[in-house]
Amino acid sequence: MQLPLMPTSRPVSLTSPPAGYLDWVAELKTRIHGAQQRAALSVNRELVLLYWQIGRDILARQSAQGWGTKVVERLAHDLRTAFPEMRGFSRANLLYMRAFAEAWPDDANVQQAVGHLPWGHNLVLLAKLKDPATRLAYATRAMTHGWSRNVLTHQIESRLLEREGRAVTNFESRLPAPGSDLARTTLKDPYLFDFLGIGAEADERAIESALVRHISRFLLELGAGFAFVGRQVPLEVGGDDFFIDLLFYHLKLRCYVVIELKAGAFKPEHIGHLASTSPRWMRS
């Protein structure tokens, strides 16, 4: 007996929306983008303020109690043990926090100006500019015009503000344009995602989590001889923090196999980045 075919409904995306619907959706998208930016900037301010407070504490305790730089190495170990999912607690970054607090002794500037920029931007300002007024002027301009870190670096190296004749340094408390490089950088800053506990790249971390949940099937897909070592395995290379997405060991080849997850299309530079950040024992 042949059953009658059920009528198929049209996909919802092909139905005709009512009058005014598309304008309303466009308005909602604008609101959502604005909310995302406000949330990211709020988290960023908290993160930068936390780094400033840690740096200030290191300065104060070293000065009052005579602690040397060895205590920074111990602190890096203890913080990374306590917060294994968070980047930024390497010895090098803790020393950057110390220098950051030393460069900005008044937390008002951290609260009102440089706290609106991602940590990477602040490291550029710290490394390339010694004068506080000039540093503040570039921080203000970066926020006002939505400069990415690369653009900020270029403008400092080309002495943009000096050529303009010292820019006004009153900070404008406003959001960067939604499509600006700074807005995209802030929303995708790996330090922010780790600070929130949701990973460096939310979409790639979701892929990674799904693979780990089905690790037995994934190992069968890889073939015989693979042993799972861990996910987000921390490495410190040249004073910087790096994390291996998935690390395996091949029992027959007696070598480590590193899997770097990328949500987008493969690019040749991905291999170069992986090779440059892997320690020698892993490449040999």
pLDDT for 7 equals 52
Residue by residue, DSSP assigns 200-241 as: SSHHHHHHHHHHHHTHHHHHHHH-TTEEEEEEEEEEEETTEE
**Which single residue is written with the structure tokens 């027959």?**
252
**Which single residue is written with the structure tokens 């305790």?**
61
Return the domain boundaries, the chain.
Answer: 25-189, 202-283
**Which single residue is written with the structure tokens 């968070």?**
86
For residue 244, give the H/E element and its range: strand 240-250
pLDDT for 58 equals 94
Q: Mean pLDDT in the chain?
A: 77
Question: Rounded to 5 degrees, what are φ and ψ at 66?
Answer: 70, 25
- A 10 A CB-CB count for 90 gives 23
Question: Poorest-confidence range of 53-57, 160-164, 277-281?
Answer: 277-281
Per-residue CA distances from 98 to 62, 123, 160, 233 (Å): 10, 12, 28, 26
- pTM for this one? 0.56
**At 257, which amino acid appears?**
V
pLDDT for 168 equals 44
Q: Judge whether residue 44 has pLDDT over 80.
A: yes
Label residue 94 by pLDDT band (50, 70, 90).
very high
Sign of CA dihedral 140, 143, 145, 147: positive
Q: Is 53 helix (H, G, I), strand (E, B) or coil?
A: helix
pLDDT for 59 equals 93
Share of the chain above pLDDT 70, in %: 70
Task: List pLDDT tens digits, range 27-38.
Answer: 998 888 888 877
- Phi-psi label, residue 146: left if phi above 0, alpha if psi -120 to 50, beta otherwise: left
Beta strand pairing status for 255-259 and 240-250? antiparallel
Contact 212, 204 (CB under 8 A): no
